[in-house]
Amino acid sequence: MVTGDGTKGYAPDAPYDRVISTASVRTIPAAWIGQTRPGGVLVVPWGSDYGDDALTRLVVAEDGSASGRCGADLAFMRLRSQRRDFLEPSADQIGTAATTRTAHGGRELFEMVTFTRASFTIGLRVPFCYLTVEDVTDDRRLVELHDVRTRSWARVTLIRGQTPWTVHQLGPRRLWDEADTAYSWWRKAGEPTPNRFGPTVTPDGTHTVWLDTRPDFTGTPTPAPQLAPYAPPAPSGAATHPPTPPPPRQEPQLTPLRPHRPVGAPGARPSDNTRHPHRRRSEAPKTPR
């Protein structure tokens, strides 16, 4: 048995024919690919922060890249170095949030948080977005999206028998709008299941996700959303000038992150465990009402 940082692999006995990870990853460590011989196989629970992972089988090529297709839904503990936390804005901060309404019903919300439906696709198209679902009462449920990197947050409050539902959003990203756009893309793309996607990782660590294409990219890879504002081209014959940047958005500072507490740890609240789909599979999101 060898103990240490698993992301570094174990070079003394490399190259390996097979590498199997029992911890899930958002990005596949370069050492795992580099220490696998050409033609060798990696089996990795891989996915986004948005929902459960997919059991992914990748084959290493002669050029040092690795490519493969996603498979079954599963939930493993995330590598420590790739875990994310969530934001908890105060009631006063939520009171200053941008507020909209969603016309989605229970069916659409169910699809947006269910692995075999749209959640895997949404996670691929909305990077760094962490989904949590919490039942407050039998008639009230909170669906929240978090990006601790940009300190952006969104909440949809689901109340039985009341639609449309209220959406609150804070931070430079409008996470619910991005997730809603990704859901629409999933519907227009024919509602692809996770096993139609696959990642390719180049030797420099670049991850590209493709849909229904072979690893040689004969088709169209799924692009990441463009977060930068779009500047329309100047009219023909008009002088071009750098666009005037918009004034900075005045956003409240969100509450500092609360550290992870392991299941059953002293001082852990029930929501510390139930809000995180990655922590315990038995507490995965339920069907929205």
pLDDT at res. 102? 85
Nearest to 78 by CA among 133, 127, 29: 29
Distance CA 287, CA 242 (A): 48
Helix (H, G, I), strand (E, B) or coil at 271: helix
pLDDT band, residue 219 (cuts 50/70/90):
very low
Distance CA 196, CA 190 (A): 11
Determine contact, residues 152/141, Cβ cutoff 8 Å.
Answer: no
Q: What are the structure tokens assigned to 2, written together?
A: 């060898």
Q: Please determine, for residue 55, whether its predicted confidence score (pLDDT) is greater than 90.
A: yes
Helices (H), the chain: 30-34, 91-95, 106-112, 120-125, 175-188, 270-274
Nearest to 130 by CA among 100, 88, 71, 97: 88
Q: Please determine, for residue 276, whether its predicted confidence score (pLDDT) is greater than 50.
A: no
Which residue ranges make up each domain of the chain?
6-80+194-211
For a pLDDT cut of 70, what percent of the chain falls above it?
73
Please name the CATH architecture into which domain 6-80+194-211 falls: 3-Layer(aba) Sandwich (3.40)
Average pLDDT, the chain: 76
Kindly list the distances between the CA atom of residue 243 and the CA atoms of 85, 234, 236, 240, 249, in Å, as whole numbers in the listed order: 35, 10, 16, 9, 17
Q: For the chain, how are helix, strand and coil distributed in percent, rounded to 5?
A: 20, 30, 50
Q: Please determine, for residue 257, whether its predicted confidence score (pLDDT) is greater than 70.
A: no
Distance CA 29, CA 201 (A): 10
pLDDT at res. 271? 38
Residue 219, amino acid: G
What's the predicted TM-score (pTM) here?
0.70
Q: Please determine, for residue 279, whether its predicted confidence score (pLDDT) is greater than 80.
A: no
Q: How large is the C-alpha radius of gyration of the chain?
A: 21
pLDDT at res. 149? 87
Half-sphere exposure of 141 (CA within 13 A, CB side): 21
Q: What are the structure tokens assigned to 79, written together?
A: 């590598």
Q: Which residue has the higher pLDDT, 109 or 260?
A: 109
Distance CA 51, CA 285 (A): 9
Q: Please determine, for residue 113, whether its predicted confidence score (pLDDT) is greater than 60.
A: yes
Q: Rounded mean pLDDT of 252-261?
A: 38
pLDDT at res. 83? 82
